[in-house]
Structure 1
Amino acid sequence: MKELISHQLVMYLEMRGVEHIFGLCGHTNIAVLSALEKSKIKFINVRHEQIAAHMADGYARAKKQTSVVLTHLGPGLTNAATGVANAALDSIPMVVIAGDVPSHFYGKHPHQEINLHSDASQYEIYRPFVKRAWRVDRPELFPEIIEKAFQLAENGRPGPVLVSVPMDIFSKEVDVSLFERLKHHTKTLHKPSIDNETAKLMIERLISAKNPVIYVGGGILLADASKELRDLVDHLGIPVAYSLMGKGAISDDHPLALGMTGFWGTQFINDTCRNADLILALGTRFSEADCSSWEPEYTFNFPTTKLIHIDIDPNEIGRNYPVEIGAVADLKQALEVLTRVAKEMVPEGRENLKFKQIIVEYKEEFRKKNLVHVQDNSYPMRPERILQEVREVLPRDAYITTDVGWNKNGVGQQFPIYEAGTILTPGGYATMGFGAPAALGAKIAQPDKVVVSLVGDGGFGQNPSVLATAAEENIPVIWVIMNNYAFGTIAGLQKAHYGTTHGTVFHKEGKPYSPDFAAIAKAYGVEGIKIQSADEFKPALKHAIESNKPFVIDVAMLNEPVPTAGHWNIMDIYSPNKKVHHVALTI
């Protein structure tokens, strides 16, 4: 028996447990949309493909499941590219299914085809950032390709893949047995762990070290290994620092949680890592911002500090720092083995009360220094007060998305995250425009959780049509627009080093300019409040949560940089030997 590929694709996705698809229509994919009409899979319609990709990214992170994007050829595919690349650099599993030109028109340059260098080559656009890009050349090959696509996206180091499908192939029939045989193939692959001998060697190094530190990245969250990490930390009493992507891997109120390293880290956290004699690194790629541009006087001092590194991706082990012991393994399983071996070698465990007290004193000192900003009643508001009041209002298990700029930097440094996986941030690509749509994806994935997007006016302005999707689907996300009338981080850099803000601040007729985002929200059919004083903010946020509706809060914020003790060597490019960083700007 034969049936249309478009219909069999939908049934295949249902069989895989896919519940939502994010995308936008085009003449090349409406066969699939038509097949979805009677499916239990919900199609989430957007106004721009970048929104679809970022929503799918947020959804995959919050649901811990591979997301699916459906897009059109040419401009649809390129519009989605930024969101897909963001997912790739943060190792988020995603399957992008894109319509393509009819296969019988290859080389004729049909409507919207990209073929300036070779015929029928639009799929090659994604090659630099997806794990693999397929073009389906024959209908009978489609079933095995879609199966391979999910398997590759989900295994090893996760990431997006592309399946580019000529529109005529969607509308061709193939024998149902080609899809039926896929049901006999496993949908979950067993992942590698570490052996007892390797675990014993690592634990021996850890317990003999004088000042060990565990350093964790986003790999802990991808492996769903937060509990296993905590078990090891609790037994051996070793302090934990994290990268931006590793934030939340251990609760920020854990007595051995240090905080985020690098450019936006504090002196205490960076010094603790730099002065460690041994670091156990778990699921991190040691990125530039987290490592103060890899300069040894600021955050990490390898090889003086010895490094043990475990990661699912062998390419990351030794990429930026020399490794004494390296292991390729799934972190959940590896940590289970390490903890078991640690309990065998140190049955009584280690409390490390002295260092816990040092952390308590450091956090209290930081809190006191920050208090003057948190209690500042001026308007525009201090970013520290905005972050403090958001944290006070939200439940511990609320989901937070950030964009880029002061919101991301401030959250990384001083916004406590208590539940693993509840902060979604664009780490690897640092994509402006991620936070607002990612929050929609997170809310669809976790409908019973409060979801708040902390986003700048520049970031929200990238794709305000997220509000159309929120209104149509009634997705009760709250957007807190931290509005400094500028691309604030870049404006602060430019002012500090070049004495100007040309092209980085928003002006009209010589005066600061911003759209009324609350009014824009209302025009889309979404609730919106424009804050007029600092005292209005917290009650407005409470009201937004209680309303259980999509809600925009537009709050003017000082363009005040988060203080940093780390280093980013672009400062030396701008102003050699001057130790200049950012400066504050007034609205």
Structure 2
Amino acid sequence: MTSSSVAKSVPVRIANAPDSSPVWRIVARAIADIGAKRCFGLVGGANFKVTLALTDLGVEFIAARHEGGAMSMADVAARLTRELVVVSFTAGPGLTNAITGIGEAAKSDTPLLVLAGDVVTGDRQSAFAFNQSELVRAVGGEWRQIADPQTAYLETWNAAARAIRERKPVVLSLPIDVQEMPVMATMGKRHPPLMPRRSLNSDKLAELVATIRSSRRPLILAGHGAVVADAQPLLVELGDKLGALLATSVQAHGMFSGHPWNLGIAGGFSSPAAAELIAQSDVILAFGMSLNMWTTKKGRLIDDHAQLVQIDVEKGRIGKHRPVDLELEGDASQVATALLEALAAEDVSGIGWRTPEISAIIDGKSNRNAPYDDTSTQEHIDPRTLSKAMDDVLPNDRTVVVDGGHFVGWVARYLSVPDHRGWCIPIAFQSIGLGLAGAIGAAVTQPERLTVLAVGDGGFLMSIAELETAVRLKRRLCIFVYNDSAYSAEVHHFVPEGYSAAMAQFPVTDFAAIARGYGADGCVVKTLADLDAVKSWVAQGAQGVFIVDGRINPKLIADWYREIFGSANL
């Protein structure tokens, strides 16, 4: 957050002509005309007026306590709604405070328009001055600047269109002197730019159809790209036609929830059933999935003899992490539609492996039913036991937002979600601390659902200022803290190698007490009996913010963590 002193260096402006408006109003008008509904941010001297103009035009403004929080709120809101979301920051540290969130949005293909106030054009002596473009581009965002007041409307429109078409955060720099310049009022289009569809390679499509014809145990894998493309109904239809099994990456978790042939997550968080059956698949259709080490268990999940097909809207992503047998560049929905059309007249009755035997494996070897040795004591509860109990206690109509950390796999395995809009995991940049703000973004956009934040104690403390925002906005939010008083990923990484991890371990934090200090409520959970307070809160309608301080076993190392980061691999 910065002071308003940046505005003091602005020259006295020339009075506007009767039929003109300052650039800051024109920028706001363009954003409203595009159809943006929400703006997250913090106001300062360099963005106060443009943000106020947005609210005058009916764009809702949600004030955060930190620019990084505002960025994460907007990121998750945009992912869940598929709408253009705006973020507004002032000059200098207003933008630098948000840069981790911009990096996360860039790596997650999130379309965002970031309004970044800036110093007077050419003023490099200001305390707020720095090279915005280099910083933004360094983390994968795109930077543009309004320099000519006469093109302000068009530049704003083009920046928003670029964000939507390229699925990326676009930062629009607004020098404060330019903001005050008069310009003729401009009216524009009142519909958002459309995403163009690429034409498909007909030869490769024909090859893909032939490959499917030869299969007997097909599998459809859906990744983040399938979520972005809203491909769920088409992939379900394609899977049903082929008798295929269905699975997702962790980013697309929930896409096939409730489908009887859903294997759940593919990769390190796979159930025993998913690991067993994915390895038996002979043709794997990966829609919008990167096939990185996480989703393939470093390649061990997919049989060497399986025909692996990767479908992605970006050619540069295909084959990046592992070789594939067939590639097809295209949007997930577009390719699924083309396949359904090509297979419409085909006899595919010989394809598929949806049998009672396979169904028994899916149920019997699910994460929910998989056995484990419960490590609970009177002082610490096993996180698997607690996660399963929380899944039973909380309402099914939920949105689960997950922060980063060692605990993530327990959430993915044991907290169910109703659909892919009920799940968001903003950890593409591998940063912890983005979850709380992201959960607020989810609660703002999907208020009809209970928002559940799953977070470690380290990530929660890193971002705890936004707890005030959640309480102030009166959102329904259950914060489920996996509290082992440590940055446990580091503890479990280095202690087995013989190092002391004392600098990553901390005294116990009482999050229930902190909750009450912020005007929320909460309870400490060491045993299943302690969940009675959560049950009571749910029974009363699950209103407001409630923190569940789960004192989990600090010595338990997740099996997926051992597998990926085992001492032999570190």
Give the TM-score normalised by structure 2: 0.89
- Report the counterpart of residue 9 of structure 2 in structure 1: none
1:15 paired with 2:33, answer yes
1:534 paired with 2:544, answer no
1:312-461 residue pairs with structure 2 within 5 A? 312-346=313-347, 352-354=353-355, 357-366=357-366, 367-370=368-371, 373=374, 378-461=378-461
- Report the counterpart of residue 517 of structure 1 in structure 2: 511
The change in CA–CA distance for 1:201 and 1:66 in structure 2 (over 3 A counts) is same
The change in CA–CA distance for 1:187 and 1:500 in structure 2 (over 3 A counts) is same
8 Å CA contact 1:404–1:456 kept in 2: the answer is yes
User: 488-497 vs 271-280, which deviates more?
Assistant: 271-280
Deviation for aligned residue 1:106: 2.7
Deviation for aligned residue 1:332: 1.5
- Report the counterpart of residue 299 of structure 1 in structure 2: 301
For residues 489 and 495 of structure 2, what CA distance do their matches in structure 1 show? Answer: 10
1:145 paired with 2:155, answer yes
CA RMSD after TM alignment: 2.6
- Report the counterpart of residue 256 of structure 1 in structure 2: 261
- Report the counterpart of residue 14 of structure 2 in structure 1: none
| Secondary structure of the corresponding residue to residue 35 of structure 1 | helix
1:171-182 residue pairs with structure 2 within 5 A? 171-177=180-186, 180=187, 182=188
1:26 paired with 2:32, answer no
Aligned partner of 2:169 among 137, 155, 160:
160
- Report the counterpart of residue 501 of structure 1 in structure 2: 501
- Report the counterpart of residue 560 of structure 2 in structure 1: 564
- Report the counterpart of residue 214 of structure 2 in structure 1: 208
Give the % identical residues: 24
The change in CA–CA distance for 1:443 and 1:147 in structure 2 (over 3 A counts) is same
Deviation for aligned residue 1:401: 0.5
For residues 377 and 543 of structure 1, what CA distance do their matches in structure 2 show? Answer: 25
CA deviation digits over 1:518-567, x for unaligned, max 9?
22222222223333542122541551571411222222111323323984
8 Å CA contact 1:457–1:481 kept in 2: the answer is yes
For residues 276 and 198 of structure 2, what CA distance do their matches in structure 1 show? Answer: 34
- Report the counterpart of residue 291 of structure 2 in structure 1: 286
Deviation for aligned residue 1:460: 0.5
5+ residue gaps, structure 1, are 115-120, 507-512, 575-587
5+ residue gaps, structure 2, are 1-18
The change in CA–CA distance for 1:541 and 1:342 in structure 2 (over 3 A counts) is farther
| Secondary structure of the corresponding residue to residue 345 of structure 1 | coil
Deviation for aligned residue 1:198: 4.5
Aligned partner of 1:269 among 258, 261, 274:
274
User: 446-455 vs 365-374, which deviates more?
Assistant: 365-374
- Report the counterpart of residue 220 of structure 1 in structure 2: 226
| Secondary structure of the corresponding residue to residue 371 of structure 2 | helix
For residues 315 and 449 of structure 1, what CA distance do their matches in structure 2 show? Answer: 37
- Report the counterpart of residue 3 of structure 1 in structure 2: 21
Deviation for aligned residue 1:465: 1.0
- Report the counterpart of residue 196 of structure 2 in structure 1: 190
- Report the counterpart of residue 130 of structure 1 in structure 2: 140
For residues 169 and 536 of structure 2, what CA distance do their matches in structure 1 show? Answer: 37
8 Å CA contact 2:105–2:169 kept in 1: the answer is yes
| Secondary structure of the corresponding residue to residue 140 of structure 1 | helix
For residues 424 and 150 of structure 1, what CA distance do their matches in structure 2 show? Answer: 23
8 Å CA contact 1:263–1:566 kept in 2: the answer is no
Deviation for aligned residue 1:5: 1.7
For residues 569 and 385 of structure 1, what CA distance do their matches in structure 2 show? Answer: 23
Deviation for aligned residue 1:362: 4.7
8 Å CA contact 1:223–1:332 kept in 2: the answer is yes
8 Å CA contact 1:264–1:566 kept in 2: the answer is no
| Secondary structure of the corresponding residue to residue 105 of structure 2 | helix
- Report the counterpart of residue 12 of structure 2 in structure 1: none
Give the TM-score normalised by structure 1: 0.87
8 Å CA contact 2:76–2:438 kept in 1: the answer is yes
Aligned partner of 2:251 among 224, 245, 256:
245
| Secondary structure of the corresponding residue to residue 421 of structure 2 | coil
The change in CA–CA distance for 1:476 and 1:207 in structure 2 (over 3 A counts) is same
CA deviation digits over 1:84-124, x for unaligned, max 9?
11111111111111011111x433x212212xxxxxx2222
1:568 partner amino acid: I
Kindly tell me the number of residue pairs found equivalent between the two proteins.
Answer: 549
For residues 385 and 368 of structure 1, what CA distance do their matches in structure 2 show? Answer: 12
2:228 partner amino acid: L
2:151 partner amino acid: L
User: 255-264 vs 488-497, which deviates more?
Assistant: 255-264
- Report the counterpart of residue 117 of structure 1 in structure 2: none
8 Å CA contact 2:164–2:193 kept in 1: the answer is no
1:110 paired with 2:123, answer no
The change in CA–CA distance for 1:439 and 1:16 in structure 2 (over 3 A counts) is same
For residues 487 and 268 of structure 1, what CA distance do their matches in structure 2 show? Answer: 31
8 Å CA contact 1:267–1:565 kept in 2: the answer is no
- Report the counterpart of residue 580 of structure 1 in structure 2: none
For residues 354 and 490 of structure 2, what CA distance do their matches in structure 1 show? Answer: 42
8 Å CA contact 2:149–2:178 kept in 1: the answer is yes
| Secondary structure of the corresponding residue to residue 224 of structure 1 | coil
For residues 431 and 56 of structure 1, what CA distance do their matches in structure 2 show? Answer: 16
For residues 387 and 438 of structure 1, what CA distance do their matches in structure 2 show? Answer: 20
1:129 partner amino acid: V
